[in-house]
A and B are shown apart, each in its own frame.
Chain A
């Protein structure tokens, strides 16, 4: 007997089951809802099942990424004074050049925790700079800022242990603080000193200066609106901090998006990873940008509308801080020399001279001219910064970072900085001359791509310590 026949009431009549089936067959069939076929049932169940499973997978991925310490890519928040700053108290992992995973401090510094009040007997050194100082490519412990502190304390501890101190637990004599932030330029360094660095009362303020740090002191025509304060000059030649361009940026949907998405950028690993990959692809793939534009262009208006509703009230009365900065800068500008001591003229070498190199190309001629103009403004900002530091009992030191080869105008800029330092009484530590000149794309253990590897940080720390020793005596 085949298994199918057991359910046939016409055939089977002997077993109790069969009898029951027989009885049921004799009664008129009650009206029942029609049975769903397995295919329809499968289709009906598939969609909600998929939705549930996908939601569960999103949660699972969030949990796994959190557990393995990845997907913490976001570290930027909007700041109405400086343009952008770090998200405070946030773990950040950086994977685009080198690799690091560390926590931004409660004060929004890419550094260990520091209290604002200076501990007694400690000399403080504040480092202001851009992404090279921020050093997301290496862990905080490997940054030159930390290494400088370690090396200075180690040197100070040699034979100078106080009776109350054990060699293991010596009092720290030097404290270094890292104020570095990617994309910052000279105007931001200056404003940052006045608003954020000065409260820490550093004994030495180190500006870690790099090529192109002065290229955005004033906005250039044709460039995108800057998320940074700039400087402007009136007809009399008075310099002032200009927030117009930063305000222009604050009203863009890009800035509003950063503000509105802060919770997600702080808390969702997947959101952060997606956002970081999106940023990376936007900068590397035209194809990706075109596709995205096509997909999202119908929603552009709705997006702009939504972003325009994002309020800036969370920043509080930032205008008061801005006014204070502007007034102080105006006052400082009146006290420093306006003499232009920076100009250099480009010597176009004769074509007969084969060693003319970069200087003779038109492209470099333009770069030289632009850099020369930028340096004029930079000289004035350095004068003001030096004066502000002097008033706060802090010594200004400028470290000139190494730059790629052929950047002749940067070498000139360093020469001018040295001349200015002599006149104004600050110090220049020329790290550029202490690093090897490399051919384009030449591999070196000192760099990943354009930023320092741990070996590069060690070398730079050594150069800075040697330069700081005479100042700290």
Chain B
């Protein structure tokens, strides 16, 4: 309905319509948080203009700091208040227990009834990026409606990708158009995203739940199976959401940045972060790692920068010590990765071994295993739960008869979903080649050797009349929508990244 209304509306009314739709979706569950988004949008818009207006660097810096403080305080208030209170309480309880003080049961601070506003972590990071870039010399968005649209654009509102305002605002200058090809490609992305989320991610969830609910029942095989299932659950869940967001944006004539590029084929942790949640990793690089000093200075300093960046990145994901540990784990991993890269430069013989086929294969496996270990912290609600899963993974033991993990995997629609997904991937690759053929480009036309794509194109008159790649996109989207009917489960799983 929004897409239809958007394309029927006159050009001037289009941004207003999108803002209204975005606020409607945002306020659907908690109306009051629309005011929070609106308030932060107005404040950041004005702060951006002020940063740009002042010539004196000190003033600009002061306004920037005020702006960042405002955004972070909102994030802290809504996301970290209860975490801090709980930490104080449990620390007091621990101290009381250790020192025999009368605070063994904590200091009695109870949680505040705070409900986390959807997507706050994402739009706060977008606002900080906006202010910092203006401080560095970029031009602010003068039109308040355009800024409001950047802040609230619904396809990326709840779980990103984290947009850059320069890229987004540039698209508002152009006359909004959408071709049949773009429209069908958008539909294909939405359908693919829904399939990833519903058929793959949601069907992996019971396997993961069975393991993490009862880690002590798992054996070695079940431990690894459970965490591998989670690795793919979170990937399909999050990349599915991104596909849906990007596809929705395409239907409206906008493009959003890609967020994933086959992260699990990475051969190093550094490469993994170039492929996983790319909009966040580039944000962390540009607005945290580089301001901390980046890759300049001594190795110890660089490693400290890496660890600090990832630790804060972990905390950004969720207000829990397990997320902090996850960030710390990746920070340490990146520091080790950097040290190893340096060693390879120093020792050519070692580099030869590392670059041999066996060395590369080992690197892929080691990276994947490291990432899996990180996911244990990410998924566990408590440290003992994480330890329980690690014990299952790294102690050679058989599963308890009541362990459901392997049973839940082998008796699930996941293998069927994987088969259908491979078919969808293959179709997507063929359609891409058809698009390239029809646009006259030969780039990548040999991705499937032996496949004669001319036969798909048909006679020239027909391919002119009916845009075949677009038709193929439409038909595959329709096919996905049909098969999805049989894959969705009774229990709807919310998107994992909605909680961040």
Contact = CB atoms under 8 A, between A and B. Distances in A.
Interface of A: 38, 41-42, 45-46, 49-50, 53-54, 56-58, 60-61, 64-65, 68-71, 73, 93, 95-101, 138-139, 142, 269-270, 272-274, 277, 280, 284, 443, 445-446, 449, 453-455, 458
Given A42-B465, A99-B411, A270-B482, A54 B490 contact: no
Contacts of A58: 482
Given A45-B466, A70-B416, A443-B213, A65 B404 contact: no
A280 B490 contact: yes
A277 B483 CA distance: 12
B96 interface: no
B214 interface: yes
Contacts of B488: 95, 277
A65 B483 CA distance: 7
Contact of B411 (A42, A60, A139, A273): A139
Contact of B404 (A45, A139, A455): A455
A445 B217 contact: yes
Contacts of B461: 41
B466 A99 contact: no
11 contacts: A42-B466, A42-B467, A45-B465, A49-B471, A69-B416, A99-B408, A138-B411, A269-B486, A273-B485, A454-B404, A455-B401
B474 to A, nearest CB: 7
A70 B479 contact: no
B38 interface: no
Contacts of B171: none
Contacts of B408: 99
B466 A54 contact: no
A458 B217 CA distance: 15
B343 interface: no
B485 A274 contact: yes
Given A50-B474, A54-B475, A96 B490 contact: yes
Interface residues of B, number: 40
Contact of A453 (B404, B474, B475, B478): B404
Interface of B: 206, 209-210, 213-214, 217, 401-404, 407-408, 411-413, 416, 419-420, 423, 461-462, 464-467, 471, 474-475, 478-479, 482-483, 485-492
A139 B407 CA distance: 10
B389 to A, nearest CB: 15
Contact of A458 (B213, B402, B423, B478): B402
Given A42-B464, A68-B420, 11 more contacts: A42-B466, A50-B471, A70-B486, A98-B411, A99-B412, A100-B411, A138-B411, A270-B482, A280-B490, A284-B492, A453-B404
Nearest to A272: B486
A41 B465 contact: yes
Contact of A38 (B217, B404, B464, B489): B464
Nearest to B478: A57
Given A99-B411, A274-B485, A46 B466 contact: yes
Contacts of B482: 57-58, 61, 270
A54 B402 contact: no
Nearest to B217: A445
A458 B485 CA distance: 32
Contact of B413 (A64, A99, A139, A284): A99
A334 B482 CA distance: 57
Nearest to B403: A445
B411 A445 contact: no
Contact of A277 (B474, B485, B491): B485
A49 B217 contact: no
Contacts of B213: 443, 445
Contacts of A277: 485, 488
Which A-B residue pairs are the 5 nearest by beta carbons?
A96-B490, A68-B416, A273-B486, A61-B482, A273-B485
A458 B411 contact: no
A53 B420 contact: no
Given A445-B217, A453-B404, A454-B404, A95 B411 contact: no
A99 B307 CA distance: 42
A138 B461 CA distance: 55
A57 B485 CA distance: 14
A64 B475 contact: no
A102 B92 CA distance: 55
A138 B478 CA distance: 31
B465 A38 contact: yes
A471 B10 CA distance: 81
Nearest to B489: A95
Given A454-B407, A455-B404, A57 B486 contact: no
A68 to B, nearest CB: 4
Contacts of B478: 53-54, 57
A268 B492 CA distance: 25
A64 B423 contact: yes
A284 B492 CA distance: 10
Contacts of B492: 284
Nearest to A71: B486
Given A49-B466, A53-B471, A455-B401, A64 B483 contact: yes
Contact of A97 (B475, B485, B486, B490): B490
A95 B413 contact: yes
A73 B213 CA distance: 28
Contacts of B483: 61, 64-65, 70
